[in-house]
């Protein structure tokens, strides 16, 4: 791994903040690295308030959207809540659907079928609306580029309100309202909301017109926090406030469906990482393996026994997804070896019977072994469909654009994309993609990078230090858990590899700065045991966490990498 220590921030700013809020220099340094430089900014960072949330009517078209919904309710129109099949889409649909149901009875939810309809607004969904005499569709987490489909709906006298967070194109659909902070003509103060976050701003605006206090909307924040975690949006600004209160709801009084999911994973207290790795994959599994509507049914259910049955069904989907993921990853890795492509600049693999719902996960898995831009293809009707994933710093979307003569269609962003192509163009595309990446990727980007916040002595890691670091959460992009570097370390001689195949490394580290022993675990670092053998001095990069065992909590270093000192 490349160890990359973040540049030192302005020392005067750090010293000033350290004195202003009475914390150690290194804590102040971590805050300044996150853009927190004053007493007031630190107060907002550590103690978010619901009143920090922006006025939803600052968002372009919000007043038009609310008026159209109020008109629909007054005229007894049926409203269709339409959303994508992933976590952001299904939570957004669940949120807007459950809120509107408290105000009005004629509301229907709709999630497109991943395989028959594909991503985003679908013609089938619009036809469904026409068949059921629906005159208003609220689209969540999709739609900002659906120009033809919105026009198709207009011919059927169906209006659209679009709530999307994806980057708009040069032309916008002719919808009644388009809520998207990334619009060039939108001056909303924060533009990193996820789709569910924009859905929340919509119900907040409807509630504001009804003189509902912001506290009324707190129970909906478990859904927003789940979407923020799953959609990998920055945990800054308004997102941090929404996630902060949403995690409180998840741990104290979550909606029935999330409570049923938590009962499946058997975790008493969840942090945002737990949501990413336990709650979100299960919600996602519904859309990957069967139907995203199953996730909406779970998240909108109010009877716990019924919710438990939904959760059990979704758990089966998730176990099936895991089995497929493991199997396809093994087959893909073997294909790379058989084709002698271990030293390529890209991984491009294909098998016609691979499950379309898991190829994105498999692409991410392959990057864990071969750290390079990766595409996993499967058969989809008369075409080949792929999920693309990239490495930090490399724009896979641009690379695909350079190969577009072989592509039927593609979309996505810098680090993740999807595409389709004709089977006869697979080899030509694969060769071109390898060539494009080879000629454009800086070689250092093919080595995983670990970004280090600060060097510290192990003696700095006091219980008080850990308590303050915990208050930096919820963690996520642009507010990741701090990563530390310490040197002059030794194992006390009892270090060993653990796990079924000795894949992990368990150490008892001692440092020259004090006489204490620090427990450490390094997942996937079993092969580095040689570095710490026989009392050798080494340096380590790690995060700090609490290890809970038999009712006792202790500080533990979660090793990310280590090397000889």
Mean pLDDT, residues 409-417:
83
- How is residue 246 written in tokens? 């949403």
pLDDT above 90 for 307: yes
CB 353 within 8 A of CB 327: no
Mean pLDDT, residues 426-434:
97
Mean pLDDT, residues 117-123:
87
Mean pLDDT, residues 34-42:
95
**Rounded to two decimals, what is the model's pTM?**
0.91
Q: Are strands 177-179 and 159-163 parallel, antiparallel or unpaired?
A: parallel
CA–CA distance, 69 with 61 (Å, rounded to integer): 12
CA–CA distance, 166 with 180 (Å, rounded to integer): 8
CB 257 within 8 A of CB 299: yes
What's the DSSP call for residue 168? P
CB 118 within 8 A of CB 356: no
Going by pLDDT thresholds of 50, 70 and 90, the confidence category of residue 239 is very high
CA–CA distance, 36 with 17 (Å, rounded to integer): 9
Can you give the pLDDT at residue 484?
97
At 381-404, the pLDDT tens digits run 899 999 999 999 999 999 999 999
**What are the phi and psi torsion angles at 221 (to 5°)?**
-75, -15
Residue 75 neighbours by CB distance under 10 Å? 9
What percent of the chain is helix, strand and coil (3-state, nearest 5)?
Answer: 45, 20, 35
Can you give the pLDDT at residue 512?
72
Residues 6+ apart with CB under 8 A from 326: none
What's the DSSP call for residue 425? G
**Full 3-state SS string of 262-319:** HHHHCCCCCCHHHHHHHHHHHHHHHHHHCCHHHHHHHHHCCCHHHHHHHHHHHHHHHH
Query: Which DSSP string do the residues of 198-226 spell out, in sequence order?
Result: HHHHHHHHHHHHTT--GGGGGGGHHHHHH
pLDDT above 80 for 552: no
Kindly tell me the sign of the dihedral angle through the C-alpha atoms of 358, 361, 366, 371: positive
At 144-174, the pLDDT tens digits run 989 999 999 999 999 999 999 988 888 999 9
CA–CA distance, 275 with 476 (Å, rounded to integer): 11
pLDDT above 90 for 516: no
Can you give the pLDDT at residue 11?
95
Report the chain's mean pLDDT, rounded to a whole number: 93
Can you give the pLDDT at residue 15?
97
Residue 166: strand, helix, or coil: coil
Q: Give the residue carrying structure tokens 């990446």.
A: 437
- How is residue 372 written in tokens? 């390079």
CB 486 within 8 A of CB 539: yes
**CA dist 88 → 2, 15, 217 (Å):** 32, 40, 18
Domains of the chain: 2-7+450-564 (2.40.50.460), 56-313 (3.90.1640.30), 339-446 (3.10.310.30)
Can you give the pLDDT at residue 409?
86
Can you give the pLDDT at residue 101?
95
C-alpha 205 chain-centroid distance: 25
Mean pLDDT, residues 77-90:
94
* Residues of the chain above pLDDT 70, percent: 100
Q: In what order do the strands lie in the sheet with 409-412?
A: 347-350, 374-380, 383-389, 416-421, 409-412
**What are the phi and psi torsion angles at 548 (to 5°)?**
-105, 120
Mean pLDDT, residues 254-276:
87
Mean pLDDT, residues 488-517:
87
Residues 6+ apart with CB under 8 A from 405: none
Mark residue 378 as left, alpha or beta (left: phi above 0; alpha: psi -120 to 50; beta: remaining).
beta
pLDDT above 70 for 342: yes
- How is residue 464 written in tokens? 């008080």
- How is residue 127 written in tokens? 């036809």
pLDDT above 90 for 336: yes
pLDDT above 80 for 266: no
Residue 60: strand, helix, or coil: coil
- How is residue 282 written in tokens? 């299960």
**HSE on the CB side for 233, CA within 13 Å?**
26
Can you give the pLDDT at residue 513?
63
Task: Identify which of 234, 227, 230 has the alpha carbon closest to the alpha carbon of residue 191.
Answer: 234
Residue 264 neighbours by CB distance under 10 Å? 16
Residue 157: strand, helix, or coil: coil
CB 456 within 8 A of CB 26: yes
At 497-509, the pLDDT tens digits run 998 889 999 999 9
Going by pLDDT thresholds of 50, 70 and 90, the confidence category of residue 287 is confident
Can you give the pLDDT at residue 357?
87
Residues 6+ apart with CB under 8 A from 93: 81, 82, 83, 109, 110, 111, 140, 199, 296
Q: Give the residue carrying structure tokens 């009892």.
A: 494
- How is residue 276 written in tokens? 């990413």
CA–CA distance, 486 with 538 (Å, rounded to integer): 9
pLDDT above 80 for 471: yes
CA–CA distance, 166 with 185 (Å, rounded to integer): 15
Q: Are strands 454-455 and 347-350 parallel, antiparallel or unpaired?
A: unpaired
Residues written for the chain? 565
Using alpha carbons only, give the angle 300, 306, 309 rounded to the nearest 5 degrees.
Answer: 105
Task: Identify which of 453, 316, 421 has the alpha carbon closest to the alpha carbon of residue 4.
Answer: 453
* Residues of the chain above pLDDT 90, percent: 82
Can you give the pLDDT at residue 555?
87
pLDDT above 80 for 551: no
CB 412 within 8 A of CB 397: yes
Can you give the pLDDT at residue 118?
78
**Full 3-state SS string of 367-380:** HHHCCCCEEEEEEE
Using alpha carbons only, give the angle 135, 137, 138 rounded to the nearest 5 degrees.
Answer: 145
pLDDT above 90 for 425: yes
C-alpha 259 chain-centroid distance: 21
- How is residue 250 written in tokens? 């998840």
pLDDT above 70 for 206: yes
Mean pLDDT, residues 457-486:
93
């Amino acid at each position: 791994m490349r160890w990359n220590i973040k540049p030192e921030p302005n020392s005067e700013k750090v010293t000033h903040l350290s004195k202003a809020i009475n914390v150690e220099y290194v804590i102040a340094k971590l805050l300044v690295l996150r853009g927190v430089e004053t007493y007031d900014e630190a107060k907002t960072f550590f103690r978010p308030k619901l009143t920090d949330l922006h006025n939803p009517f600052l968002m372009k078209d919000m007043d038009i959207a609310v008026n159209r919904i109020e008109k629909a309710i007054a005229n007894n129109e049926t409203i269709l809540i339409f959303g994508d099949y992933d976590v952001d889409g299904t939570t957004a649909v669940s949120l807007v659907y459950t809120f509107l149901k408290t105000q009005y009875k004629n509301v229907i939810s709709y999630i497109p079928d991943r395989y028959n309809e594909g991503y985003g607004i679908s013609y089938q969904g619009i036809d469904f609306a026409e068949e059921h005499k629906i005159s208003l569709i609220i689209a969540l987490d999709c739609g900002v580029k659906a120009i033809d489909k919105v026009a198709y709906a207009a011919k059927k006298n169906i209006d659209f309100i679009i709530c999307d967070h994806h980057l708009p194109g040069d032309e916008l659909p002719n919808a009644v309202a388009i809520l998207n902070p990334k619009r060039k003509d939108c001056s909303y103060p924060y533009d990193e909301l996820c789709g569910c976050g924009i859905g929340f701003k919509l119900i907040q605006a409807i509630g504001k017109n009804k003189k509902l206090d912001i506290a009324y909307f707190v129970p909906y924040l478990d859904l927003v926090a789940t979407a923020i975690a799953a959609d990998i949006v920055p945990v800054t600004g308004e997102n941090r406030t929404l996630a902060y209160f949403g995690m409180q709801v998840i741990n104290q009084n979550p909606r029935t469906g999330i409570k049923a999911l938590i009962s499946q994973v058997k975790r008493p207290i969840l942090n945002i990482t737990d949501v990413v790795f336990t709650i979100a994959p299960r919600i996602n599994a519904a859309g990957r393996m069967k139907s995203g509507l199953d996730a909406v049914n779970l998240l909108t259910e109010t009877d716990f026994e019924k919710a438990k049955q939904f959760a059990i069904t979704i758990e089966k989907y998730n176990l099936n997804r895991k089995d497929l993921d493991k199997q396809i990853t093994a087959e893909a890795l073997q294909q790379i070896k058989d084709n002698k492509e271990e030293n390529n600049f890209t991984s491009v693999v294909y098998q016609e019977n691979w499950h379309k719902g898991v190829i994105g996960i498999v692409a991410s898995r392959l990057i864990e072994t071969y750290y390079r831009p990766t595409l996993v293809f499967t058969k989809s009707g008369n075409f080949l469909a792929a999920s693309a994933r990239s490495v930090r710093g490399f724009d896979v979307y641009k690379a695909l654009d350079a190969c577009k003569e072989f592509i039927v269609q593609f979309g996505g962003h810098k680090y993740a994309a999807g595409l389709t192509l004709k089977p006869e163009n697979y080899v030509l595309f694969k060769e071109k993609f390898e060539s494009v990446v080879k000629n454009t990727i800086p070689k250092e980007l093919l080595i995983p990078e670990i970004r280090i916040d600060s060097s510290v002595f192990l003696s700095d890691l006091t219980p008080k230090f850990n308590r303050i670091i915990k208050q930096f959460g919820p963690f996520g992009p642009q507010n990741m858990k701090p990563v530390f570097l310490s040197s002059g370390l030794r194992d006390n001689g009892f270090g060993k590899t653990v796990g079924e195949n000795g894949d992990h490394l368990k150490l008892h580290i001692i440092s020259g700065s004090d006489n204490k022993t620090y427990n450490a675990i390094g997942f996937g670092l079993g092969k580095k045991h040689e570095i710490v053998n026989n009392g050798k001095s080494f340096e380590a990069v790690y995060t700090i966490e609490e290890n809970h065992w038999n009712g006792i909590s202790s500080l533990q270093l979660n090793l990310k990498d280590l090397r000889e000192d």
